[in-house]
Amino acid sequence: MKLFVIPSWYPSKTCPESGLFFKDRAMLLREAGIDVLVLAPILHSFRKILKIRQMNTTNPNPELRTIINEQVNIFPKNEKLAFYRYQKRAINLFNQAIKKYGKPDMVFFNSSIWAGAALYKNLNDEKIPFIVSEHLKEFLMPQGFSNFNKKLIQKTYDSSYKIIATSTALKKSIIKRFKINENKIILVPNPVNEDFFTLKPPSKNKRLSFASVGLLRPEKNFDLIIKAFDKILKSGIDATLNIVGDGPLEAQIKKQINLLGNPNRIKLWGYLQPNQVVEVLHKTDIFIVGSSIETFGVSLVEAQACGIPSVATKCGGPNDIILKDTGVLVQPNSEFYLHGGIMQLIKKIDYYDSENIRKKTIERFGKNIYTNSLKKII
């Protein structure tokens, strides 16, 4: 089986942290014996133009054949022109790959916007079947996509062999919005690398340690997490909070932390390498997800793989992840419910067994679960 994996975003010299999970999944497929070639046409915002040193990179990872084409979005206010420019580059990259490596048996798109939309016509002409795996939060938002992108998504879906949704909420949204036959959509949760996210050692610290990992964007609701945590401190509980991630709200969150009575109890780490994230998780007693929208919850599954009980909002993906004996689900967009969920977990902290949390997480989201699910499709 020769498989072309074509993500809409991917790690590169310009943005090494972007789309790391797409790279990890491609590696899993390769390890499962599939002949994988990654083609990554990447569209960067104009502000990153000075960082781009090389527009084409081949095989940056010798373990995974990869061709990357980085381009700058010179039409940030005109999505049609931006798409057609992206499409031209994507088609050229695809044709180069076929010329060098031959025609694939199947293509796996990570997102219809815009990788799938750019190439579905070419695949139809070449009679190459393709799968689309969706992840974008916009699928769970009332006005998530422009009319232009809606049409692109619909055309891509109509031509696809199968569509993969990472959560029940995402699957239901796609079926409802794009009138797709339910049999065409398959639920395949994102995998966790259990060999990397290992069981945390027993805590020897009497001070409780909380953690939350994610991009500092509005829908992640870090402001509510900080407010809920501040209430925890004011109730007399000895605790610290580690926030891992960067993003557009970093300055605002720093300001909020500094205005608290105990700003030294909250550590804003910024972006960390995966091994550094594991180090933080191994010192964590309770993991928190406060999002208003999540199509899955990669950081939540990674925390559970480390054996950490979690408090998460009912915002889509976490609804499928949290079980009775792995954590607590609460209503989203509420400081009150988030605080209540954390307090509930603190009071029952001895009920949660780290080895059991890890075991159940791997049984449902482990590497083999993911690759076996995909092998049934491709």
Cα–Cα distances (Å) from 122 to 40, 156, 163, 295, 332, in that order, read 16, 11, 18, 29, 42
pLDDT at 61: 53
Planar angle of CA 112, 292, 144, nearest 5 degrees = 35
d(CA 39, CA 2): 13
d(CA 155, CA 159): 6
Give the separation between CA 67 and CA 53, rounded to whole angstroms: 15
- Distance between CA 55 and CA 68 in Å, rounded? 8
Q: What is the distance, to the nearest Å, from the Cα of residue 140 to the centroid of all Cα atoms in its chain?
A: 14
Q: Looking at residues 338-364, what average pLDDT do you find?
A: 97
Predicted local distance difference test score (pLDDT) of residue 52: 46
Read off the pLDDT of residues 86-104 as tens digits, 9 standing for 90 and up.
999 999 999 999 999 999 9
Tokens (6 digits) for 322: 């949290």
> Quick one: tokens of 219?
């829908």
Do 28 and 370 contact (CB within 8 A), yes or no? yes
Q: Is the pLDDT of residue 56 over 80?
A: no
Please state, for a pLDDT cut of 90, what percent of the chain lies above it.
Answer: 84
pLDDT band at 343 (very low <50, low <70, confident <90, very high): very high
Q: Which residues pair with 134 in a beta bridge?
A: 165
Determine whether domain 2-188 maps to CATH 3.40.30.10: no
Query: How many CA atoms does the CB half-sphere of 258 hold within 13 Å?
Result: 6
Work out the average pLDDT over 11-18: 77
Question: What is the fold of 208-364?
Answer: Rossmann fold (3.40.50)
Evaluate the CA torsion angle 70, 72, 78, 82 in order and state its sign: negative
Taking the CB of residue 324, how many other CB atoms lie within 10 A of it?
8
Alpha-carbon Rg of the chain, whole angstroms? 21
pLDDT for the residue numbered 21:
87
Average pLDDT over residues 219-229: 97
* DSSP of 105-166: SEEEEE-IIIIIHHHHHHHHHHT--EEEEE--GGGGSTT-S-HHHHHHHHHHHHH-SEEEES
Alpha-carbon span 27 to 22, nearest angstrom: 9
The region that residue 185 occupies, defined by phi over 0 for left and psi between -120 and 50 for alpha, beta otherwise, is beta
Checking if the pLDDT of 230 tops 50, the result is yes
DSSP-assigned beta bridge partners for residue 7: 110
pLDDT at 58: 46
Q: pLDDT tier at 239 (50, 70, 90 boundaries)?
A: very high
Cα 175 to Cα 338: distance, rounded to the nearest angstrom: 30
Instruction: Give the residue extent of every domain in the chain.
Output: 2-188, 208-364
Residue 16: pLDDT band (50, 70, 90) is confident
Distance, CA of 39 to CA of 12 (rounded, Å): 12
201-218 residue pLDDT tens:
998 888 999 999 999 999
- CA torsion angle 25 192 197 309 (round to 10): 160
Residue-wise pLDDT for 123-151, tens only, equals: 999 999 999 999 999 999 988 999 999 99
- pLDDT at residue 53 above 50? no
Q: Is the dihedral of CA 48, 256, 141, 159 positive or negative?
A: positive
pLDDT of res. 47? 60
* Rounded Cα–Cα distance for residues 158 and 161 (Å): 9
Asked if the model's pLDDT at residue 200 lies above 80, the reply is yes
Is-contact 129 161, C-beta < 8 A? yes
The residue ranking higher by pLDDT, 19 or 26, is 26
Q: What is the mean pLDDT of the chain?
A: 93
